[in-house]
Amino acid sequence: MRHPSLPAWASDSFRSVGFLPVVVGVQLATILSLQVVYTELPGFDLQMMLESIVFFLLVALPICVVAICFGRILKARPSGSATVALLADIKAVSCDRGRAAMGWPVIALFIPFMSIFAQFKTMIPLIRPFDWDETFVAWDRALSFGALPHEILAPVMSHPVPLMLTNVAYNLWFFFMLGGFIGFAFAQRPSALRTRYLTAFFLVWFVEGSLLALVFSSAGPCFYGLLGLPADPYQPLLESLRAAGAVVPLFSLTTQDLLWSGYVGQGDSLGISAMPSLHNAMAVLMALAARHLGRRLGWAFAAYAVWIFVGSIALAWHYAVDGLVALPVTLALWMAAGRIARWWHREDAAEDRIAATAL
């Protein structure tokens, strides 16, 4: 969708945001409405937003740009110095006016969007205390014919080295997720795939990470016993993880302790939510996008999505049903985003058809 009154770079900037302002607007309206209905909820946290801006601009964005350029250099295999080529590529990407026009409007929406998401997540147990965990345990048992999924994985995933490698893969998710987002946001030109991915990205975080997380308010296996629920079936799993953590570094244990401390008021509240699993949802979304960029890349990210699913169970973050629900919901959002992207780029498609006819 072109804006006829704008120059080319500004038109691309206008087109770059696509449907995203609508998603952010609905998200903002949702949280403001909840704050009106539930008067005990805290007000908007501007400090959190400022901290998010500083972290993203000074830490996350530079790391991702360097990582993306490093990958481009590895693929190009320049004949001269790889370091010189990397620095030149970083400069070229950073100073590219077209990329800036594409990316910065998206970033201007992304930062408040994620800040609102983070605040929404901390509100979930205040609006609806965790009341689905016992149900999800029952569903997991039904799916596993009486056992729990982590018990089936135990022959392999109870050993320190597989757990450590899985934990590393689980934490790398953040960089893959953010790197993919930045890569699409700062693409050289608009495309239906870019619009589709960014739209699906925002929808996954809002629909699954906020709306469904509120409906299916749950804490997850690692916090099951701390909720005071009877007959904690995850105590053996947590003991196994603690034992492995004494042998190899398991960052998930520290993160889980940090989240619980925030929940009980002994630290900054970062929010706890299990269903549906955003780790699994975003891993699926990355695999769906990757297959459009290359067959091998698609298979690699599909395998990574399976690994994330296994890790979410083995590291006690999620019930199996958290990931199983995330899969079809993410597929549905990806399909919806595809329809939105085709509509948004309908004029481009028409121009391509006219050009093809003229040849």
- Read off the pLDDT of residues 13-48 as tens digits, 9 standing for 90 and up: 556 777 899 999 999 999 999 988 888 877 766 777
Query: What is the pLDDT at residue 80?
Result: 73
pTM: 0.88
Residue with tokens 């190009």: 76
3-state secondary structure 234-250: CHHHHHHHHHHHCCCCC
The two structure tokens encoding residue 205: 């975080």
Q: How many helices (H) and strands (E) are present in the chain, helices listed first? A: 17, 0
Place of tokens 């569903």: 139
> How far apart, in Å, do the first and last CA atoms of the chain sit?
24
| Residue 255 clears pLDDT 90, i.e. is over it | yes
> How many C-beta atoms surround the C-beta of residue 100 within 10 A?
16
How many residues appear in the chain? Answer: 359
Local confidence band at 87 (pLDDT 50, 70, 90 cut-offs): confident
What's the CA angle centered on 133, arms 128 and 137, to 5 degrees?
160
Fill in the amino acid letter for 233. P
Region 190-209: mean pLDDT is: 94
Q: Is the pLDDT of residue 287 over 60?
A: yes
Mean pLDDT of 214-230: 93
Share of the chain above pLDDT 70, in %: 91
Domains of the chain by residue range: 8-358
pLDDT for 59 equals 80
Model confidence pLDDT, tens digit, residues 103-160: 888 888 998 899 899 899 999 999 999 999 999 999 999 999 999 999 999 999 989 9
Closest alpha carbon to 282 in 251, 256, 313, 305:
305
Average pLDDT value over all residues in the chain: 86
Burial class (CB in 10 A: 0-12, 13-18, 19+), 218: buried
